[in-house]
Amino acid sequence: MPNRFYLCKMQVQKFLEAVSDMGRYRCRVAVKYLQSLAANKNWKKPVWLCKSIHNDYTYSNLTKLLDLWVVSSVTIHQLLSDYLPSLRVLKNGRLYHMLAHDTTKMLKNHSPCLKDKCYLYANNPIGGKKSLCIGYLLLCLHIIGENGAAPVLSMDIETLDKGQNEQIVSQLSAALTNKDLNLLQQLCLLVADSAYGKAKFIAPMYSYDNLVTITRVRSGTKVWSQYKGEANKKGTPRIFGQKYYLCHTTRTKQYKNQPEGKLQTSISELTPSCTHQSEVVLGNGRSAVLRLTRWNDMMFRTKQGNNMKDKPLDIICVVLEDAVTGKRVFEREMYLAVSGKEKSAVDIEEAQQCYARRYDVEGCYRFKKQTLMLEGLQSPCLEHQKTWLKMVQLSYWLLYLAAYEVKQIDCPEWQRYLAQNKSIPEDSTTPLRIAQAHKGIDGLFSTLPELPPKSQSHKKAGGRQKGDKMPQRPTYDPAKKGKQEAKKGEETANKATEASK
């Protein structure tokens, strides 16, 4: 697969030509708006993209584009299959892709005409006791590239009729089983935060042979060792051994209903399978000692029908200490769960380094919201919002592919003394820095071959007549997903009761 630092101008042109062949309608308009969005000069609304030198269309053409340019995720996967980041190599010589899954919010606090919005936890734009906002939750599957780049393979809006974990599993299944991407031909490492460190997410991932998941597990979670004693003569064989808690030391925790407290045995009491210690230098120049401890073949309990009896996982404890004082840099240790049929292929140090790359997706979300106007589209149609998400996704890929051609950064005067802003070396380019290089982006796009000319303009219909009144758009209240699920459960129970009668 081609490495992005060797992608030339002709491959950028090939990418744009492939985009123009994706949709049946408004293909040329899509390419022009993608170029304008990639060369964004601090514009905050999509209407301002009409002022770009790469765009010869008006804002009304963007509305028609969002109506007619309908592209499926399968078509996008087929397009992106030729531009995936280069494969990485483990210590044992195996090649692998690194994937990351996370969620982000698309706020629509002042869009009452958009349907299927829901309440989300965020900074507190609504007065009240809880930090609430209104909008959509985006489910994003990333493939981790070089030097902080995290292009998106799939970006979907969470629907209210299905559970979030069910939609995440189906999204991952669509990408992993796609014949064009062909990800599972090599080993795939999927990293995710603590929201995914549960049986309902880990259990379905075991069905893929070449997939290894590295998820963070919340402190205090219960794990079990495998039972290695004598088998029972009667009944089901015993699987779970002694119970441990993911905490630093054995402690007694007080509960409201148990005044005496409950003893929680720390996993540190169990003999580790392997340990690792190394010296690292933090971003601020501070020296620290990284201590890693691994326990192999631990178990989670089966929950909500997700069978974990035959799905062992490895637990890794990560502790960071100051090299001079010996005190912890962070108060709590971090626990990682490595699961999958090929989990033994990932070394203890490689697992920690792979999870550290998960934070690249946070910079990707910030860049898309601040520069690529992820939340900037003002449209009362939900289908327009979905099409706009695909345009933002492809514009990020366009910047990702243009990294080799663009060298110079345009930055404020007070930042020009910084070494990283004088020039962009080939091994440190990122979509954020490429977006700041307006001269390089404009020069690259201006040298590309021109697309076929746009069709001739037709006679206009005359517009709205005097006295005509447009019908009022319907408005929708934000939905509360938990209550809807509870109502569906009650309706199902009532139907079952009536059927029994």
Percent of the chain clearing pLDDT 90 (strictly above) = 47
SS (HEC) of 435-463: HHCHHHHHHHHHCCCCCCCCCCCCCCCCC
Rounded distance between C-alpha atoms, residue 249 and residue 223, angstroms: 15
CB 263 within 8 A of CB 241: no
- Tell me how far apart the terminal alpha carbons of the chain are, to the nearest angstrom: 62
CB 364 within 8 A of CB 142: yes
What beta strand segments (E) does 303-444 contain? 313-322, 334-339
Tokens of 439: 């001269």
Per DSSP, what are the bridge partners of residue 222?
245
Number of C-beta neighbours around residue 221 at 10 A: 18
pLDDT for 394 equals 92
Q: Higher pLDDT residue, 19 or 488?
A: 19
pLDDT for 1 equals 39
| Least trusted range by pLDDT, from 143-157, 270-284, 435-449 | 435-449
List of domains in the chain:
4-81+371-446 (no CATH), 88-364 (3.90.350)
pLDDT for 420 equals 59
pLDDT for 141 equals 96
Tokens of 64: 């028609």
CB 100 within 8 A of CB 190: yes
- At 500, the pLDDT band (50, 70, 90 cuts) reads very low
Mean per-residue pLDDT, 300-317: 92
pLDDT for 287 equals 92
Q: Higher pLDDT residue, 339 or 25?
A: 339
pTM of the model: 0.87
Mean per-residue pLDDT, 59-84: 88
Rounded distance between C-alpha atoms, residue 237 and residue 231, angstroms: 6
Rounded distance between C-alpha atoms, residue 273 and residue 278, angstroms: 18
CB 31 within 8 A of CB 350: no
Residue 96 gets which letter from DSSP? E
Judged against a pLDDT cut of 80, whether residue 51 lies above it is answered with: yes
Rounded distance between C-alpha atoms, residue 101 and residue 140, angstroms: 6
361 CB-contact burial (10 Å; exposed 0-12 / middle 13-18 / buried 19+): buried
Q: Higher pLDDT residue, 493 or 107?
A: 107
Q: What are phi and psi of 196, to 5 degrees?
A: -100, -5
Q: What is the largest CA-CA distance in the chain?
A: 90
- At 430, the pLDDT band (50, 70, 90 cuts) reads low
Judged against a pLDDT cut of 70, whether residue 408 lies above it is answered with: no
The amino acid occupying position 147 is N
Residue 479 gets which letter from DSSP? B
pLDDT for 361 equals 93
SS (HEC) of 275-294: EEEEEEECCCCCEEEEEEEE
Judged against a pLDDT cut of 50, whether residue 177 lies above it is answered with: yes
Tokens of 295: 């326990």
pLDDT for 109 equals 87
Mean of all residue pLDDT scores within the chain = 83
pLDDT for 122 equals 76
Judged against a pLDDT cut of 50, whether residue 61 lies above it is answered with: yes
Judged against a pLDDT cut of 70, whether residue 178 lies above it is answered with: yes
The three-class DSSP label of residue 35 is helix
Q: Which of 323, 395, 292 is nearest to 15 (CA)?
A: 395
The three-class DSSP label of residue 173 is helix
- At 289, the pLDDT band (50, 70, 90 cuts) reads very high
pLDDT digits (tens, 9 = 90+) for 373-399: 999 998 999 999 999 999 999 999 988
pLDDT for 279 equals 93
Tokens of 44: 């905050």
CB 228 within 8 A of CB 206: no
Query: 14: Cβ–Cβ under 8 A, 6 or more apart, which residues?
Result: none
CB 49 within 8 A of CB 62: yes
- At 460, the pLDDT band (50, 70, 90 cuts) reads low
pLDDT for 5 equals 37
Tokens of 119: 């309440």
pLDDT for 129 equals 65
| Least trusted range by pLDDT, from 20-34, 203-217, 438-452 | 438-452
Residue whose pair of structure tokens reads 């995290």 in the numeric block: 150
pLDDT for 128 equals 65
pLDDT for 19 equals 85
Helices 9-20 and 73-80 pack at an angle, to 10 degrees, of 160
pLDDT digits (tens, 9 = 90+) for 134-173: 999 999 999 998 878 899 999 999 998 888 999 999 999 9
Q: Which of 13-17, 32-36, 444-448 has the highest mean pLDDT?
A: 32-36
pLDDT digits (tens, 9 = 90+) for 478-492: 888 765 444 444 454
Rounded distance between C-alpha atoms, residue 131 and residue 123, angstroms: 6
Rounded distance between C-alpha atoms, residue 28 and residue 452, angstroms: 8
pLDDT for 403 equals 72
